[in-house]
Each structure stands twice: as C-alpha cells, then as structure tokens.
Chain A
Amino acid sequence: MLESYFSYIIRQPVISAPVFLNLLPILLIWRKRAYNDKLLLILFVYLLLKLGVDLVMFDLASHRKNNVVYYNVSIPIRYVLTSWMYYYEFDSKLHRRWVLASWPLFVAFSMWDAIHTNPLMSDIHNHNVVLYSATIESLLMLFWIMLYFYNTIRALKIPNLLSYPFFWICSGLLLYYSSFIFIAPVLHYAAKWDQWMDIGTLDYIPYVFESVSLILFSIGIAQYRDKSYAK
C-alpha cells in the first residue's frame, strides 16, 4: 500500500503536495490554540474535512480508482465552510444575509449539477466532474473576497493588515479561486475516466495555488495572538 502511495507521490508531486501541506495550518491552529477564535475554528474544521477528503482521494488515485465523487461532494461543503468565515467577518447585516442566503441556493444547485452531470449516480467508475458548481463556487468566493477587501479599506479598522490572520486567509483563497475559475469548467470535459483529455500545465495550476493558499493560511495563523486578535 505504502509503495503505491510513494509511487503516486513520485509520479504526481504537484498534485500530492497540497494533500500533505494541509497538515501545516492544521498543526499551527492546534499548537497556537487558534481554534478558540470562532473564525479560525471554522477554518480548522474546513481544513480537517479537506484533509480527510484529500487523503481519501489520494488513496483512490494512487490505486487508480475514480475519486471524482468525493470532489463533487466536497464542493458545497467547502463553499459553506469558507463563506461562513466571511459571514463572521462582515459587519453589514445585509452582507451577512447575502452569505446566508447563498448557502441553501448553492447546495441545492450543486446537488442538481451533480445529478445533472451524472444521471447514473451509482456508476462511480464513470463519475464526471460537475459542470457548473466549481465555477459558480469560484465566482461567489471571489465576490465575497472582493467585498471583504472593499469593506476593509473603507472601514480602516485594521491598522496592520500583515499581522491580521484573516487577510492572509483571504489572499490565499483569492489566489486559489483566481487560478481555478477558468480551469474549473474545462475539468468536466477533460477529466473523464475513459476519455482523458490532456490539458497539460493547466491541470497543475490549481494544485500549485492550492499549495500557495495553504502556505498563506499558515502565515496568517502564525500571526494569531490570543489576546490581540480582534474583529
């Protein structure tokens, strides 16, 4: 088993790297007890779930099995957890309501998308990547990030952004979703088990920026100071 894992890591180092990099922010949150803060607790839960899903997908990929179903399932969970952080950070009630309203709509839409893309849900072997959900998720997340940045520079509440953990988390998410937004719809057509379409470097860009975002999360968590962390 270990041999297949090592073999996969050697064959696909760029794809494997973020799976293990998940551990870095998780350990930092644990060590600094940053989970005492509500926002970082959500990030902690998100990272733990992400690690679980990534490990399962890594196991299936290393054994040459279709793991797309886990990816499809993780999209609404990932969206709800990451946007939840913005729900806490927004001061405006209206913006909070927008985030809240987006959850049931997006979950329902991604479920419809998964069923629409895979009419035969029991056929795990030929399961396809969802067609719209990942793109819509990226658009929504980019919107929340931009709205948060806009509010930040308007309100002038944070004296030093570089020592503010959520700024780093936002930057990480912004880079990841920016790298993914144009590639996400292509994956539906490219990542088919029996008709694999090689998209070359494009396949690796989201993984590279996933690793970058995890490193930025870690930098942000390293800035966390128990008493000084203020909304």
Chain B
Amino acid sequence: MQSNDELKLVLLIASIAMLMMAFFVIAFVMYYQKKRFEEEKRINDIEKNYNRLLLDTALNSEETERRRIAQDLHDDIGTMLSLTKLSLNQLSKLVTNSGDEKEESIMKKSQSLVEETILHVRRITRDLVPTTLERFGLMEAIEEFIHKLEEDNNLVIAFHSDTEEFPRQGQKLELTLYRIMQELVNNAIKHASCTKIDIVLEIDEEMIGLRVTDNGVGFDPEKIKESNLAGLGLLGIESRLAIVNGTVQYEQPAKGGSSAIARIPVNPASGNKPEPLHPFRRERVNI
C-alpha cells in the first residue's frame, strides 16, 4: 500500500515537473522569438542608417567635387580666358592699325571663339553649381533651368506651383528636389521622345510634391527594375530620396506618356539662414 502511494507521489511529481518544463518551453520560445526579432530589427536599423550615411557622404562628396570643378573652371580657366580676351583685344588694335584684312579676319574669329568659350565655361559652371537655387530658391531655379532647356531644345516645358511664394526649405531638401527634377526632365528628353513636359510643385503642411509628366512613349518602371535596366538615373533618384525620407512613384497616365511623383517631408529652412553658397568660393559643402 505504501509503495503504491509512493509510486503515485513520484508520478505526480514527475508529471508536474514535465508540465512545468512544457510551460517553460512555450514561454521560452515566445520570449526568445520576440528577442531575436527585436535584435534583427535593431541590426536592420543600424544597417539602414549606415547605408543612408554612406549615400549621404557620397552625395556630399559629389556636390563638393562639382563645386571644386566649378571653382577651378572659374578661377583658373575663366581668368585665363579673360586675360586671353584682353590680350586679343590689344592685339586686335595692332592688327587693325596694320591694315591687313586677312589678319583682321583671323583676329575677329579668334576673339569670337574666346568669347564663345567664356560663355560655355560660364554655362558649365552654372550647371555644376545651381547658384540660383541657393540664392533665390527652388521656384526660381526650376524656372531658370526650364528657360535654358527651352532655348536649346524644341519642346514645351510648363511649370506650375500651387503657391505664389514657395517657402524656403533646408539646403539639402531644395538641392534634392532640384537634382531629381533635373534627372526626370533629362530622362524625359533623352528617352521619352516627348514634345511637352509639365513640372508641378506642390506643398502642404507636411509634404512637398514634385510631379514631372511628359507626353512621350512612357515606360514601365517595374519592368525596368526587373530587367536591371534601372540605370543610375532612377537609382540616383531613389538614393537621394532615401536620405530625406522621401518616396517616388511612377505612373503611366491613360492619355500616354509617363509621370513621376516625388514626395518629401517639409523641412523649412532654419532661422539662422545659412550663408549663400557661391560657386567661386573655396569651401566644403555641408548639405
């Protein structure tokens, strides 16, 4: 009888121990799974931030390099061209006095070539560093960009904004929007065979939207991404947007062509207005 009771007690203890282990296993699986997910999320966040930092640094370096080239062009080549122009002017007077028409003609041609080169250098410098953007803001920079494009190409570019006075945004944000606009418009000209481009800039309390629509052949962004044809253009847009928490969406309007909408959270320029960037000043860009 006693051994029977002992057996029951042993079995009861064993069963309770087994059940406790079962409860422990269930609790452990739940806890460990949760911990592993948190850890995984943390690592992902670190990786994401690191990639973002890398991108940011790469873009900063790109802007610094653009500025350096613009500066060298202006300070060195620009100065030398101006001096060449002056010398040619002096030489031109001597040639005119000598009365040789052939020499005079060559002289005028040389002067004209130098002036044209000076203009080219100025244009390249302006393209490299958007000084209008830094001085006057996004709307003026886009208008200037359109004006230059319309001169060189046979197409109509329309620009609308839902506000008269577009509030100034942080330098990085304005530059990002400007570069994206540049990329989208250049893509439309290069690949879409379009005759008309619409650029719309919208702003509300939270977001800034930039929409570029063309009436060209259109494209399927998913197919381009799948076939690894995204190229540097679309990837560059996404990389720039990733840094400022922006998004881009591509659409194919029913009437044809293509449309790209970039959205970026508003980031008004801080009270301490940064010193305007000048392409001809040697300094590091901190966008």
Report A's interface with B, CB cutoff 8 A.
146, 149, 152-153, 156, 158-159, 161-162, 167, 171, 174-175, 178-179, 181-183, 186, 197, 199-202, 205, 209
Asked if B4 lies at the interface with its beta carbon under 8 angstroms from chain A, I say yes
A201-B12 CB under 8 A given contacts A152-B33, A156-B40: yes
Q: How near does chain A come to B4, taking the closest CB pair, in angstroms?
A: 7
Distance in angstroms between the alpha carbons of A113 and B25 in the assembled complex? 31
A153, A174, A202: the one contacting B8 at CB < 8 Å is A202
Q: Is the CB of A179 within 8 A of B18?
A: yes
A171-B26 CB under 8 A given contacts A156-B40, A159-B37, A201-B12: yes
A153-B36 CB under 8 A given contacts A171-B26, A174-B26, A178-B18: yes
Chain B 9-41, CB-CB to A under 8 Å as 1, else 0, gives: 001101100110111011001101100110010
A202-B11 CB under 8 A given contacts A171-B26, A181-B18, A209-B19: yes
**Interface residues in B, total, Cβ within 8 A:** 21
Residue of A nearest to B14 (CB): A182
A153, A181, A186, A209: the one contacting B29 at CB < 8 Å is A153
Residue of A nearest to B20 (CB): A178
Q: Is the CB of B8 within 8 A of A199?
A: yes
Q: Is the interface of A mostly helix, strand, loop or mixed?
A: helix
Q: Is the interface of B mostly helix, strand, loop or mixed?
A: helix
Q: Is the CB of B4 within 8 A of A174?
A: no
Residues of A within 8 A of B11 (CB): 182-183, 186, 199, 202
Residues of A within 8 A of B30 (CB): 161-162
Residue of A nearest to B16 (CB): A205
A178-B21 CB under 8 A given contacts A201-B12, A205-B15: yes
Which of B7, B22, B37 has the largest number of chain A CB atoms within 10 A?
Answer: B22
Distance in angstroms between the alpha carbons of A21 and B18 in the assembled complex? 24
A182-B15 CB under 8 A given contacts A171-B26, A175-B22, A200-B8: yes
Q: For the A-B complex with A153-B32, A174-B25, A179-B22 known, give 19 more contacts whose Cβ atoms are closer than 8 Å.
A: A146-B25, A149-B29, A153-B33, A153-B36, A156-B36, A161-B30, A175-B19, A178-B22, A179-B15, A179-B19, A181-B18, A182-B14, A182-B18, A183-B11, A186-B11, A197-B4, A202-B8, A205-B15, A209-B19
Residues of A within 8 A of B8 (CB): 199-202
Distance in angstroms between the alpha carbons of A149 and B30 in the assembled complex? 10
CB-CB nearest 5 A-B residue pairs: A178-B22, A178-B18, A182-B14, A149-B29, A174-B22
Residue of A nearest to B23 (CB): A175
Distance in angstroms between the alpha carbons of A228 and B35 in the assembled complex? 23
Residue of B nearest to A178 (CB): B22
Residues of B within 8 A of A156 (CB): 33, 36-37, 40
Residues of A within 8 A of B14 (CB): 182
Q: Is the CB of A158 within 8 A of B21?
A: no
- Can you list 24 A-B contacts with CB-CB less than 8 angstroms, sorted by A residue number? A149-B25, A153-B29, A156-B36, A156-B40, A161-B29, A161-B30, A162-B30, A167-B29, A171-B26, A174-B22, A174-B25, A175-B19, A175-B23, A179-B19, A182-B11, A183-B11, A186-B7, A186-B11, A199-B8, A199-B11, A201-B8, A202-B12, A202-B15, A209-B19
Distance in angstroms between the alpha carbons of A137 and B25 in the assembled complex? 19
Residues of A within 8 A of B26 (CB): 171, 174-175
Distance in angstroms between the alpha carbons of A197 and B5 in the assembled complex? 11
Q: How near does chain A come to B20, taking the closest CB pair, in angstroms?
A: 9
Chain B 38-58, CB-CB to A under 8 Å as 1, else 0, gives: 001000000000000000000
Distance in angstroms between the alpha carbons of A159 and B151 in the assembled complex? 57
Chain B 240-267, CB-CB to A under 8 Å as 1, else 0, gives: 0000000000000000000000000000
Which of B4, B7, B18, B30 has the largest number of chain A CB atoms within 10 A?
Answer: B18
Residues of B within 8 A of A171 (CB): 26
A178-B12 CB under 8 A given contacts A149-B25, A153-B33: no
Residues of A within 8 A of B23 (CB): 175
Residues of B within 8 A of A167 (CB): 29
